[in-house]
Amino acid sequence: SFHKNSILEFKNVYFKYPGSENFVLNNLNLKIHAGEKLCIVGENGSGKSTFIKLLTRLYFPTQGEILLDGVNINEFDYYMYTKMFSPTLQDFNLYYLTVKENVILDYEEDNKRLDLISKQSGLASLIKKLSHGYETPVYKWEAIDGFQPSGGEGQKIAITRAIYRDSQILLLDEPTAALDPNAEYEIYTQFHKIINDKCAVLIT
């Protein structure tokens, strides 16, 4: 598992999609230390999302290797390895469930913890406005008393979900791409407060 002295390392990593001649990543060498905040900035198509998919074992390097504390990540149990990550991706999903169910999903229910994290993420102010609080259905198609979240509101639900999962590494893949500058600023400010003791990788 990922502990306070752990290091994730990309070692001479190359990646190209099957059938393509071009390398998306070309000899990438990078270390991510536990507790570190890493921000990766690049233009569209520069391989940022590919990096996340390699890190989470959705893709395999064409050449080179990715190591956790010196061991190739493919040698770890896949389920245990992916539990280390809490991703909030650009194309996150919300479901035809209540707000609370959207946050907790299949994790253990802890209402005190949910309240605390909602305050940290800024979701609590939205909960106060909703007709049934946490029990309000997301989307109106399935329920008359449901609500249609704005981009910023949906993002707060997704971020609260990622933090509730309580993994050691937070992954944020362009989490504010669809938001206006004010909403984006609010999300990043909240995140800065929340991730003080976690490893976080932000892609933008």
Report which of 197, 196, 123, 116 is spatially closest to residue 158, judged by C-alpha positions.
123
> What is the structure's pLDDT at 102?
94
User: What integer pLDDT is reported at residue 63 of this predicted model?
Assistant: 97
Q: Which residues pair with 68 in a beta bridge?
A: 8, 71
pLDDT reported for residue 41: 85
Look at residue 136 in the predicted model and tell me its pLDDT.
94
DSSP string for 73-109: GGGS-HHHHHTTEEEE-TT----SSBHHHHHHTTSPP
Number of neighbours of residue 1 by Cβ within 10 angstroms: 11
pLDDT at 30: 95
pLDDT at 133: 95
- pLDDT for 71: 97
Q: Are 148 and 139 in contact (CB under 8 A)?
A: yes
The tens place of each residue's pLDDT in the chain, 204 residues long, gives 788 899 999 999 999 999 999 999 999 999 999 989 888 888 887 888 899 999 999 999 999 999 999 999 999 999 999 999 988 776 678 888 999 999 999 889 999 999 998 988 889 999 999 989 999 999 987 667 888 998 888 888 988 898 888 888 988 887 666 667 777 777 777 777 777 778 888 888
